Amino acid sequence: ETVMTQSPAALSVSPGDRATLSCRASQSIGTNLVWYQQKPGQAPRLLLYRTSTRATGVPARFSGSGSGTEFTLTISSLQSEDIAVYFCQQYDNWPFITFGQGTRLEIK
């Protein structure tokens, strides 16, 4: 099983600043990575797929990069509505998909 490890577990960022979230795979997954955003009390929402392709309606301040085992989700200028938990997901071993444990993003 491919284990996904996200860091940090929690991140505090000031409005307007850049937020950088990391996701590491226990083995190479190419660019088979997805990011989700989950706000309190809501279901997760698709953000990025194939490492860096934004889903419909996702603002351009969200971007993704990486390949192999190291991946990054960057929010270029944090807005208050970006406060959420962010999960990464690999599908290299599809259909046996695994998720990271999440990074909680907070406003400083």
Partner 1 sequence: QLVESGGGLIQSGGSLRLTCEVSGLSVRNTYMSWVRQAAGEGLEWVAVIFGGGSTYYANSVKGRFTLSRDNSRNTLDLQMNSLRVEDTAVYYCVREVHDYAGIAGFDPWGQGTLVTVSS
Residues that bind partner 1 (CB under 8 A): 32, 34, 36, 43-46, 48-50, 53, 55, 87, 89, 91, 94-102
Q: Give the nearer residue to partner 1 in terms of CB position, either 44 or 61.
A: 44
Q: Give the nearer residue to partner 1 in terms of CB position, either 3 or 107.
A: 3
Q: Give the nearer residue to partner 1 in terms of CB position, either 60 or 94.
A: 94
User: Minimal distance in Å, beta carbon 49 to partner 1?
Assistant: 4
Q: Report residue 68 as tokens.
A: 């192999």
CB 79 within 8 A of CB 15: yes
User: Minimal distance in Å, beta carbon 102 to partner 1?
Assistant: 5
Q: Measured between alpha carbons, how far is 81 from 92 in angstroms, rounded to an integer? A: 31
User: Minimal distance in Å, beta carbon 78 to partner 1?
Assistant: 22
